[in-house]
Amino acid sequence: MDYRKYIAHRLAAEGMTEEEVAEAIAVPPDPSLGDYALPCFKFSKVLRKSPVAVAETLKERFPADDVIEEVSAVNGYLNFKVNKRGLAAETLSRILREGEQYGGSDCGTGKTICIDYSSVNIAKPFHIGHLSTTVIGGALYRIFRFLGYHAVGINHLGDYGTQFGKLISAYRRWGDRELVEKGGIRALNELYVRFHREAEKDPALEDEARAYFKKIEEGDAECRSLFEWFKQLTLKEVSKIYDLLDIRFDSYAGESFYQDKMQPVIDELREKGLLVESRGAQVVDLEAYGMPPCIILKSDGSSLYATRDMAAAIYRKQTYDFDKCLYVVAYQQNLHFRQFFKVLELMGKEWAKDLVHVAYGMVSLEEGAMSTRKGNVVFLEDILEKSVKKAYEIIDMKNPSLSGKEEIAGKVGVGAVIFGALYNNKIKDIVFSYDKALNFDGETSVYVQYTCARASSVLSKANESGFCASSDFSELPPLCSQEFELVKSLAEFPDVVRSAAEKYEPSFVARYSVDVAQRFNKFYFDCKILQEEETRAFRLALTQATLTVLKNALGLLGIGVPEKM
Of 121 and 451, which CB lies nearer to ligand ARG in the complex structure? 121
Our CB check for ligand ARG shows the closer of 156 and 519 to be 156
**CA–CA separation, 540 vs 459, rounded Å?**
7
CB closer to ligand ARG out of 103 and 158: 158
CA 461 – CA 448 distance, rounded (Å): 20
Can you give the three-state secondary structure of 481-526, one letter per residue?
HHHHHHHHHHHHHHHHHHHHHHCCCCHHHHHHHHHHHHHHHHHHHH
Q: With CA atoms as reference, report the closest residue to 113 among 501, 418, 559, 506.
A: 501
- How far apart are alpha carbons 86 and 171 in whole angstroms? 70
Q: Does the active-site annotation cover 127?
A: yes
Q: Catalytic residue among 127, 156, 166, 411, which?
A: 127
Q: How far is the CB of 83 from ligand ARG (least distance, A)?
A: 49
| The binder of ligand ARG chosen from 116, 381, 483, 505 (CB under 6 A) | 116
Alpha carbons within 13 angstroms on the beta-carbon side of residue 370 total 21
Pattern of binders to ligand ARG over 362-391, x per CB under 6 A? ------------------------------
Q: Of 158-187, which residues contact ligand ARG (CB under 6 A)?
A: 158
C-beta of residue 423 within 8 angstroms of C-beta of residue 505: no
- Region from 51-59, 114-122, 278-286, 529-537 binding ligand ARG, contact rule CB under 6 A: 114-122
Residue 83 or 119 having the CB closest to ligand ARG = 119
Stretches 70-78, 116-124, 168-176, 525-533: which one binds ligand ARG (CB under 6 A)? 116-124
What is the amino acid identity at position 20?
E
Q: How far apart are CA 53 and CA 41, in angstroms?
A: 10
The residue count for binding ligand ARG (CB under 6 A) is 8
What does the alpha-carbon distance between residue 560 and residue 565 come to, in Å, rounded to a whole number? 12
HEC letters along 372-414: CCCCCCCEHHHHHHHHHHHHHHHHHHHCCCCCCHHHHHHHHHH
| Candidate list 329, 344, 452, 554; residue touching ligand ARG; CB under 6 A | 329
- Which letter does DSSP use for residue 158 in this model? B
Active site residue 130: yes
Active site residue 45: no
d(CA 445, CA 416): 6
Amino acid at 359: A
Using rule CB under 6 A, residue 482 touches ligand ARG:
no
Q: Does 156 bind ligand ARG (CB under 6 A)?
A: yes
Of 309, 443, 492, 505, the one binding ligand ARG (CB under 6 A) is 309
Q: Is 258 in the site for ligand ARG (CB under 6 A)?
A: no
Q: Is 119 in the site for ligand ARG (CB under 6 A)?
A: yes
Q: Which CB sits closer to ligand ARG, 261 or 522? A: 261
Binding site for ligand ARG (CB under 6 A): 116, 119, 121, 156, 158, 309, 327, 329
Q: Give the residue numbers annotated as catalytic, written as ranges.
A: 124, 127, 130
